[in-house]
Every structure is written in structure tokens, then in C-alpha cells.
């Protein structure tokens, strides 16, 4: 049940932030509006905790393995956890103040053939 709540809440965070001045040229902003892209505000509660607890819970209880990380333009750490045998996955967003929230997750994933994380 906890994984379902984590997954549902994680999906919501993707749409939480509205478009702001982004350094990437394909992101909509005030100076260069695009007809194909638009800002969307989506609010929902997410499962959040201390970053150390979140990592331990994902790796120990849920048996997920950290396979990828990236730094957002807002200086937050996005980390992808996967169970490559069952297909479960969670994308965790961690802030510099040691808080992490589950953004999105799922119970099925299929790796691309040349994905280096699955070798």
C-alpha cells in the first residue's frame, strides 16, 4: 500500500512547478513564448521525508537500486531507483535541506536494449 501512495504522490510532483526562466531554449518562458509548450500548475501532496530515511526505505524495504541521478536547474537532486527484476521504479527529488519527496513511480519498466544501467 505504501508503494502505491509513493507512486501516486510522485506522479503529481512532476506538474507542480510552473514554467519559470529556464536556461534551456526549448522550455517556455516569458521572453520566447511557444505555441507548442505551455505552463501548467498541478498541486498534490507528496510522500516526503529526511533524505537518509528515504534512501534507506527505498533500498532496504523496497529493494530498489539507485541507477541514475541528475541535478535540476533548481539545484535539486533527482534520483532514479529501480528493481530490475520486478520492474518497480521510483524517481526521488531531494533538496539541499536534506528533504526528499517521491515524484513518480511505477510497477513496470522495460529497459532499452543499450541502457548501461541494466547490464
Q: In the predicted model, is pLDDT for residue 9 greater than 50? A: no
% the chain with pLDDT above 90: 40
CA distances from 62 to 9, 28, 65, 97, 110 (A): 17, 37, 9, 24, 18
pLDDT digits (tens, 9 = 90+) for 80-106: 999 988 889 999 999 999 999 998 888
- Over the stretch 72-84, which tens digit does the pLDDT of each residue have? 988 999 999 999 8
Domain that holds residue 81: 2-118
Distance in angstroms (rounded) separating the CA atoms of residues 78 and 55: 12
Rounded to the nearest integer, the mean pLDDT of the chain is 76
Q: How far apart are CA 35 and CA 57, in angstroms?
A: 42
Q: Is the confidence at residue 32, as pLDDT, over 60?
A: yes
Please state the domain count of the chain.
Answer: 1
Amino acid at each position: 500500500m505504501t508503494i502505491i501512495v509513493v507512486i501516486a504522490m510522485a506522479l503529481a510532483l512532476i506538474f507542480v512547478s510552473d514554467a519559470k526562466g529556464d536556461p534551456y531554449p526549448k522550455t517556455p518562458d516569458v521572453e520566447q513564448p511557444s505555441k507548442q509548450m505551455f505552463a501548467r500548475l498541478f498541486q498534490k501532496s507528496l510522500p516526503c521525508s529526511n533524505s537518509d530515511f528515504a534512501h534507506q526505505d527505498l533500498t532496504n524495504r523496497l529493494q530498489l537500486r539507485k541507477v541514475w541521478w541528475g541535478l535540476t536547474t533548481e539545484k535539486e537532486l533527482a534520483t532514479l531507483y529501480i528493481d530490475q527484476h520486478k520492474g518497480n521504479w521510483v524517481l526521488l527529488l531531494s533538496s539541499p535541506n536534506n528533504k526528499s519527496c517521491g515524484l513518480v513511480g511505477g510497477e513496470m519498466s522495460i529497459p532499452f536494449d543499450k541502457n548501461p544501467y541494466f547490464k
